[in-house]
């Protein structure tokens, strides 16, 4: 069992792929639910208004935008989120669409060249063999 400390409250918990214990994770989900419901009811609300009305910090709301859980409305240029790679204004996430496409191509190219290095020439290249053919005497 992998035990870790919760990043929010410091309590020890059985790690299950999340950085928060179940109590803090439930609290986080409740905060997101508040923000989401407020935005549904007030679709033109600003981040500051949403924070004031829900009690969820501006920083946390911006993290929801970075995680891709929320999206900024409208086509106007924003001054809140920028692509972490090129600096263009974005509505959600960490990267713009152009940079995502470029990174996908780069990753695919990197894995293809790595795969080529790992393959061996010859007809038996996909077969296994015993490296040390001498049997051990027990």
| Tens-place pLDDT, residues 76-89 | 555 788 999 999 98
Does some domain include residue 125?
no
- Residue partners of 94: CB distance under 8 A and separation at least 6: 66, 83, 84
131 part of a folded domain = no
How many residues are given for the chain? 138
Range of the domain at 76: 3-118
Is 130 within a domain?
A: no
pLDDT at 52: 96
More confident residue, 104 or 116: 104
pLDDT of residue 65: 93
In a domain, 127, yes or no: no
Rounded to two decimals, the pTM is 0.67
Q: Would 63 be classed as within a structural domain?
A: yes
**Residue 88 is assigned to a structural domain of this protein:** yes
Residues 6+ apart with CB under 8 A from 26: none
How many separate domains does the chain show?
A: 1
Residue 138 belongs to some domain of the structure: no
Whether residue 123 lies inside any domain: the answer is no
């Amino acid at each position: 069992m992998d035990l870790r400390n919760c990043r929010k409250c410091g309590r020890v918990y059985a790690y299950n792929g999340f950085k928060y214990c179940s109590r803090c994770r439930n609290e986080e989900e409740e905060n997101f639910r508040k923000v989401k419901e407020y935005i549904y009811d007030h679709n033109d609300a600003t981040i500051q208004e949403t924070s004031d009305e829900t009690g969820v910090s501006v920083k946390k709301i911006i993290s929801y935008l970075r995680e891709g859980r929320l999206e900024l409305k409208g086509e106007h240029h924003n001054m809140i989120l920028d692509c972490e790679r090129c600096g263009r204004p974005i509505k959600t996430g960490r990267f713009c669409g152009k940079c995502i496409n470029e990174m996908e191509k780069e990753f695919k190219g990197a894995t293809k060249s790595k795969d080529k290095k790992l393959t061996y020439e010859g007809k038996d290249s996909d077969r296994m063999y015993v490296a040390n053919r001498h049997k051990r005497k027990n």
